[in-house]
């Protein structure tokens, strides 16, 4: 815990310094999965990882599906609002010449993982490698418009939010019918995940990323889709142990990378304990239910909220919206926590 706190303090100092020096609004680039996606998969014709139908988005501004995998806002939306910037648009919604790229881009894609084969039954999604390829293209577009020096400066000063890895467990290692869970022990699988992630973070660094915030995994053993596999709806401890092991390894990786890559300021944001505390003590945060989702989902049908699914009466009473994703109300609690760590003296 102490080590984690120290890492967070370094992170806080970094982001604060950045906020203080920034006369212009922050530029953010977002990489991730369905926890941060804002609509890329709607542009992938064959993708089965989509949320472009009711009841997704029911609590968003226009009460319509937005491509977000929740009833309202993602954690990223809430943090952007606190920073006074619009949430960066989905990469696939932008035309190649769009000047919006200079204000930040969201590459996140539901079903995506660190590994290319994660989520393969969704047919189409942007894996983390694909997302970095897209960012490379964005950088080329910037260089064409404003020249190498200005593009490099923009990329060096931007903040990169990276939240990925949940699907490498939920939609890969934990699926008995896929190869990775059969073929590898958890130790071997973890080694593969972390060595792949190391190459991906170094590639982002080579493309100019310096201020990267890696969002660690939450207690996946406690999400409704995993509890459904237990005998009495309890959390799966083995899964939670694996996830904590992953978080520890990535934390070590980031310390190593920071010591080897000049002016690299990567942060590991550990949200495992805060999320677990919310799940274990929902009433402390104004919630009533944390062991099942507001939208009554069928595990057999993938655990997403379907148009004919029944919703709970009060969506703000539930920590989980569907079998995988937190509700808008839970995202507010988690975003506030995340924000207070990054900007401890903020008046936002």
Ligand X SMILES: *[C@@H]1O[C@H](CO)[C@@H](O)[C@H](O)[C@H]1NC(C)=O
Q: Tokens at residue 22, please?
A: 């920034």
Residue number, 81 or 194, with CB nearest to ligand X: 194
Which residue in the list 77, 180, 270, 325 is annotated as catalytic?
325
| Minimal distance, residue 63 CB to ligand X, in Å | 28
Q: Which is nearer to ligand X, 30 or 279 (CB)?
A: 279
Measured from the Cβ of residue 121, the count of other Cβ atoms closer than 10 Å reads 12
User: How far is Cα 294 from Cα 315, in angstroms, rounded to an integer?
Assistant: 6
Tokens of 76: 């990223």
248 binds ligand X (CB under 6 A): no
Q: How far is the CB of 336 from ligand X (least distance, A)?
A: 25
The only residue of 86, 96, 233, 344 in contact with ligand X, by rule CB under 6 A = 233
Task: Please say which residue, 234 or 252, places its beta carbon nearer to ligand X.
Answer: 234
User: Judged by CB under 6 A, which of 52, 59, 98, 130 binds ligand X?
Assistant: 130
Task: Select from 172, 136, 274, 160 the least CA-distant residue to 217.
Answer: 274
46-105 binders of ligand X (CB under 6 A): none
Judged by CB, which is closer to ligand X: 147, or 233?
A: 233
Q: How far is the CB of 220 from ligand X (least distance, A)?
A: 17
Nearest CA among 93, 77, 229, 239 for reference residue 166: 239
Residue 34 appears among annotated catalytic residues: yes
Active-site option among 33, 77, 180, 322? 322
Residues 6 or more apart whose Cβ sits within 8 Å of residue 346: 19, 82, 339, 340
Minimum Å distance from CB 72 to ligand X? 23
User: Which pair of structure tokens corresponds to residue 247?
Assistant: 């978080």
Token pair 């990267």 is found at 212
Is residue 281 within the footprint of ligand X (CB under 6 A)? no
For residues 123 and 48, is the Cβ–Cβ distance under 8 A?
A: yes
**Stretch near ligand X under the rule CB under 6 A, chosen from 53-61, 127-135, 206-214, 327-335:** 127-135
Distance CA 150, CA 155 (A): 9
Nearest residue relative to ligand X (C-beta): 233
Q: Closest by alpha carbon to 1, among 248, 263, 250, 257?
A: 248
Closest CB to ligand X among 27 and 297?
Answer: 297
Q: Which of residues 131-190 bind ligand X (CB under 6 A)?
A: 133
Strand partners, 214: 162, 268
Q: How far is the CB of 125 from ligand X (least distance, A)?
A: 12
**Strand, helix or coil at 238?**
helix
Cα(296)–Cα(313) distance, rounded to whole angstroms? 11
Stretch that binds ligand X, among 94-102, 125-133, 182-190, 332-340 (CB under 6 A): 125-133
């490099």: which residue's tokens? 152
What minimum distance in Å lies between the beta carbon of 300 and ligand X? 16
- Which member of 93, 175, 292, 336 binds ligand X (CB under 6 A)? 292
Q: In the complex with ligand X, which residue's Cβ is closer, 95 or 231?
A: 231
Rounded to whole angstroms, the Cα distance separating 334 from 277 reads 11
Q: Which two tokens stand for residue 63?
A: 């009460």
* Residues identified as active-site: 34, 322, 325
Which residues form the interface with ligand X (CB under 6 A)? 116, 129-130, 133, 233, 291-292
């Amino acid at each position: 815990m102490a080590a984690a706190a120290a890492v967070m303090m370094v992170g806080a100092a970094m982001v604060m310094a950045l906020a203080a020096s920034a006369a212009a609004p922050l530029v953010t680039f977002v990489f991730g999965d369905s926890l941060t996606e804002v609509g890329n998969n709607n542009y992938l014709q064959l993708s089965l990882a989509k949320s472009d139908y009711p009841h997704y988005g029911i609590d968003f501004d226009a009460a319509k599906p937005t491509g977000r995998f929740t009833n309202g806002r993602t954690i990223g939306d809430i943090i952007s609002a606190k920073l006074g910037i619009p949430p960066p648009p989905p990469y696939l919604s932008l035309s190649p010449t769009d000047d919006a790229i200079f204000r930040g881009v969201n590459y996140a894609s539901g079903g995506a993982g660190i590994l290319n084969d994660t989520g393969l039954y969704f047919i189409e999604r942007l894996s983390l490698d694909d997302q970095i390829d897209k960012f490379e293209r964005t950088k080329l577009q910037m260089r064409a418009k404003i020249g190498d020096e200005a593009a490099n400066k923009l990329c060096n000063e931007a903040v990169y939010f990276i939240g990925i890895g949940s699907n490498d467990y939920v939609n890969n290692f934990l699926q008995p019918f896929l190869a990775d869970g059969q073929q590898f022990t958890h130790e071997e699988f973890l080694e593969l995940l972390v060595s792949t992630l190391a190459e991906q973070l170094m590639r982002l660094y080579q493309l100019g990323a310096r201020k990267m915030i890696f969002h660690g995994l939450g207690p996946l053993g406690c999400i409704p889709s995993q509890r459904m596999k237990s005998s009495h709806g309890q959390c799966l401890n083995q899964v939670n142990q694996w996830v904590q092991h992953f978080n520890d390894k990535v934390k070590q990786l980031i310390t190593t990378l920071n010591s080897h890559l000049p002016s690299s300021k990567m942060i590991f944001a550990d949200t495992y304990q805060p999320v677990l505390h919310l799940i274990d003590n929902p009433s402390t945060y104004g919630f009533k239910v944390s062991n099942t989702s507001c939208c009554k989902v069928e595990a057999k049908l993938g655990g997403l909220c379907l148009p004919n699914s029944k919703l709970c009466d009060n969506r703000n009473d539930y920590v989980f919206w569907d079998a995988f994703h937190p509700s808008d109300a839970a995202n507010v609690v988690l975003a506030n926590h995340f924000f207070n760590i990054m900007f401890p003296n903020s008046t936002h």
